[in-house]
Amino acid sequence: MKRISAIVLIMIMAVAMMAPTCLAAKDSGAGAEPLKIEASTPANGDKGVSVENLSVKLTFNKDMASMTKEQKAHNQQVIKLTDPKGKKISIKAYYSKEYPNMVMIVSGTSGNKLNRFDSATEYTLALGKTFTAADGSTLGARQEIAFTTINQNASMKVYMVLMALMMVGMIFFTTRTAKKAAEKEMKDKGVTTTVNPYKEAKRTGKSVEEIVAADKKKKAKAAEAAAKKRAAEQALEEEIMAQERKAHNKRVSVKRPISAAGSEYKVKVVETVKPEPKKKSTNPKGQTGKQKNKKGGKKKKK
């Protein structure tokens, strides 16, 4: 009897010790929350996906980064990316400890060549039902994400149209800015443009006389403003010049010899002999000696 009681007691203790393990296995097994894809970029049905550096970002509801090497190898085998003809494209799954719920599916290489994706083509990423998370839970059903790449021909046309519009806009605004700058320069110089009174009358609906009178008034006002500006500029220039002269001109209050400043320079005075004055000629101005003698001989004959 004692032996039977001991056996029962041992069995009860064994069941009590194994119960937590069984419950934990139940929680992490079939009864656990299934693995789900909460978001993807691109999403299923997206269009206009870039063909450059094409990749798919998947966000799950469970930890994916803590998987074992065997789990990662298994997931790599059950992921497929195919084109419309069903041709398989090489891809690789990357996991991040910083973002444990995220898996990045990146296009790999075919041999030594990078995978090239066609324009305006639908591709499908498929995950098998046994795709697993770190806790062992699986998707339970095949999941597919289909997306279409961008139409590069249409995109290039749109780009060219936008470039043409940008060029037209640049030319328009550049011309307008240059015209305004020229008008401002002419206005500053007091130069006024000639107004066609008939054209202005037709544009504004006013009479030709009114247009001419308004133009004369405008020109007179502009000329007056230009004259005032020139006078103000001239006065300012004269004031600046006066200040400059005052600042640079040095004056002394009393005249002093250079020796007062400590100079030993002496001027050597050399007396020069004055030239003797030339004797005055008795010949009349403009006459030579021969002419005078000729006149004197004539007088003697008389």
What is the DSSP-derived secondary structure letter of residue 116?
-
The beta strands (E) that lie in the chain are given as 37-41, 55-60, 79-82, 88-89, 91-95, 102-107, 109-110, 113-114, 122-127, 143-148
Element (H, E) at 219: helix 208-248
> How many angstroms separate the CA atoms of 132 and 135, rounded?
8
The CATH code of domain 37-150 reads: 2.60.40.1220
> How many angstroms separate the CA atoms of 30 and 237, rounded?
97
> How many angstroms separate the CA atoms of 105 and 198, rounded?
74
Task: List, as one string, the DSSP characters of 254-289.
Answer: S---GGGGT----PPP---PPPPPPPPP-SPTT--H
Examine residue 20 and say whether the peptide bond preceding it is cis (omega within 30 degrees of 0): no
Is this prediction's pTM over 0.85?
Answer: no
Identify the pLDDT of residue 180: 80
Identify the pLDDT of residue 209: 84
């003797």: which residue's tokens?
276
| pLDDT tens series, the chain, 302 aa | 556 666 666 777 766 665 544 444 344 444 568 999 999 999 999 998 988 888 999 999 999 999 999 999 999 999 999 999 999 998 999 999 999 999 999 987 655 566 788 888 999 999 999 999 999 999 999 999 999 998 877 667 777 788 888 888 888 888 888 878 877 776 666 555 667 777 777 778 878 788 888 888 888 888 888 888 888 888 888 888 888 877 777 666 777 777 777 777 776 766 776 667 666 665 555 555 555 555 555 554 44
Identify the pLDDT of residue 81: 94
What residue segments make up the domains of the chain, in order of their start? 37-150, 151-178, 190-234
Closest listed residue to residue 19, CA positions, set 7, 11, 8:
11
Q: How many beta carbons lie within 10 A of that of residue 210, not counting itself? A: 13
Query: Mapped to the 3 state alphabet, what secondary structure does 152-170 carry?
Result: HHHHHHHHHHHHHHHHHHH
Identify the pLDDT of residue 29: 44
Identify the pLDDT of residue 222: 80
**Partners of 88 in beta bridges:** 82
